[in-house]
Amino acid sequence: MLRQASHFVPARHVNLDYILAAVCHQKGGSHGRCSRMLSSSRSSNNAADTDIDSETNSRDRVTANVDSHGVCHVRLNRPDKLNACDLAMFEAIARTASDLRQDRSLRAVILSGQGRAFCTGLDVKAVMKNGNPKAQINRLLERPSGYGPNNDNAIGNLAQDVSILWRELPVPVIAVLHGMCYGAGFQIALGADFRYATPHCKLSIMEGKWGLIPDMGASILLKELVSIDVAKELTMTAKIISGEEAHRLGLVTHVYDDPMPEAERFVKDILERSPDAIAAAKELYQSTWTATSDKESLILETKLQEKLLISWNQLAASGRSAFGINVPYSKRKE
């Protein structure tokens, strides 16, 4: 029974499929369809600081502020719930990533959580309480979500896109982790290019605790970071590891007592480099790291390099490095 399941399962540590199975068991029948929630307010691209608002019912779930250097601080903003994800949070995260993709002046994203935790996973109670839970779950699982870069070829559902869409941004995305980073929160962090964590941050692929698997992109994200036996162990045991252990395993890039200033220092280094070269580097490694042939990798290297050669930003980078001339970079080409 659904009532029994929700009584025994903590709200923030449960996989989406658990709720779907429970709802279908109680209600029977097909999953149905739900209307998309796609009206969004787009980000403005002026040089001054810019706020990016989500739609009305998820406006407060995520805040995003782009400064005059093109650095965006994205903050999960549900601290009273330890940033656990309800449907509005999923929509807001995916919409924010989608909006930022349109901004060619963007240089970097720092993703963090307000309050005592980065994100403690799925908020089951909110999903069950707010309206029709069947429709909410179907919205999370249907594909495409509507937020992907090319909706005709998009492959992620909404639950996956909150992780995967950070990979689509042509800029570095740094997740700053503290407190707890469980389940959905862990997979959101895995979608970033870099993870800076506190030594005592708690991380877990929590789905295994409930007899489930991670279904928010972990099958893509984990294989780029750890060996298959480590991925299996963490998934099968649902063990909670510290930031220090996550760093030893390769899941966390750096560990600091106060990771936010370190992330901001790293971004300052990024700002000294050509935005086109940064975007090409991200595309190159992400496209070739695991699943392409040597031939495809070498061809892509040449293709990306040809786009960079004798461009304004390539000449600006050379001027800075060779002659110490602080030539300004232009916006990314793409």
pLDDT of residue 52: 38
- For 261, other C-beta atoms within 10 Å of its C-beta total 11
Cα–Cα distance measured from residue 17 to residue 14, given in angstroms and rounded to the nearest whole number = 8
CB burial of residue 234 (10 Å; 0-12, 13-18, 19+): buried
pLDDT of residue 151: 56
Mean pLDDT by 10 residues, the chain (334 residues): 31 40 36 30 33 50 97 98 95 96 96 98 82 84 87 80 95 98 97 98 89 86 95 95 98 98 98 97 93 81 86 91 92 86
Helix, strand, or coil (residue 254)? strand
14, 124 in Cβ contact below 8 A?
yes
Cα–Cα distance measured from residue 56 to residue 60, given in angstroms and rounded to the nearest whole number = 8
164, 156 in Cβ contact below 8 A?
yes
DSSP 6-38: HHHS-GGG--HHHHHHHHHHHH-S---------
pLDDT of residue 12: 38
pLDDT of residue 244: 98
pLDDT of residue 104: 94
